[in-house]
Structure 1
């Protein structure tokens, strides 16, 4: 998970706005190689994370508000909302990737220069360029997806129920009318013998 830790360190440096230090030419060459290896993945991951936070909150609020829409207009409204969300992502993720890509070199270089000596940078670079590291990086992505799917298949219904309870409690506290409860589904009738 070394590349993940490095990516997180680079992201933290980006957020902190660390200024570029003046490393030796040999150290700068190592840092430049590491930054180049990490830059694309960092831009992708960080842009997605920045967008996901507000979108998750907005989506949850939208789902709650959607329950107040008349039933005959709900599906069309949901599709329109999905379209707006998709458009927002399509417009803003590339924008953020560009901003991050421009900020990473100086910011990450300063962090790497500050935290690692030349020998450590050589080790990081050797690991990052190794086939095992690349294979591990791909496996890590797949592992995260597999774990997330398993957890959500088991915990998703419970979390959905808890979220609905929270939304109802918040609506009650705000004096809003809670979304109508779903009518209980009739039990499947068993054929008479």
Structure 2
């Protein structure tokens, strides 16, 4: 008789060990969303670089002799690409670290355990629509905190990059005179 009770207790303990808590489900959703968050972090890291490239392109067209433009733009693009390669992991690491306290907190507050189980399954259901409607509320705080935290690491490097590009543009010489 004691063996039967012990077997039942072991089976119950095993079942409980396999049951997922709400925190486990939130963590699982965050893990499933990690590629999306990493892409978002990359986009945030690259956004100021695209603006810089556009500005540099305008200046190059206005001030740099035609024969120097292509080489200068390639040099600037290479420098921007290098910066993106170096800054993207910084943004990604900050984003991944901030996910539980921002996105995870919203998931925990807005979704029940049963809903999280359905969400993990990524089925077309009302819960999936609810999740989609909540994404802005979940990721906006992440973006805000990510930009605040990463700014400390990236701003000095971004300013140095800007100065380097400005120097290259200045060294390239004045724009050719236009003929009337």
Q: TM-score, normalised by structure 1?
A: 0.50
1:101 paired residue number: 96
Equivalent pair of 1:30/1:125 in contact (CA under 8 Å): yes
Cα distance between partner residues in 2 of 1:29 and 1:41: 19
Deviation at 1:32, TM superposition (A): 1.3
Q: TM-score, normalised by structure 2?
A: 0.53
Deviation at 1:108, TM superposition (A): 2.0
Cα distance between partner residues in 1 of 2:176 and 2:81: 25
Q: Which runs of 5+ in 1 are unaligned?
A: 1-24, 129-177, 182-193
Aligned pair in 2 of structure 1 residues 52, 179: CA closer, same or farther (>3 Å)?
farther
1:50 paired residue number: 44
1:149-168 matches, within 5 Å, as none
Count of aligned pairs between the two proteins:
109
Equivalent pair of 2:41/2:95 in contact (CA under 8 Å): yes
Cα distance between partner residues in 2 of 1:97 and 1:121: 24
Q: Which of the residues 88, 106, 111 maps onto 1:111?
A: 106
2:118 paired residue number: 123
Once superposed, what is the RMSD of the aligned Cα atoms? 2.7
Q: Which has the larger radius of gyration?
A: 2
Cα distance between partner residues in 2 of 1:180 and 1:38: 54
Deviation at 1:78, TM superposition (A): 1.1
After TM superposition, the runs of 4+ consecutive aligned structure 1 residues lying more than 6 A away are: 178-181
Cα distance between partner residues in 2 of 1:90 and 1:76: 21
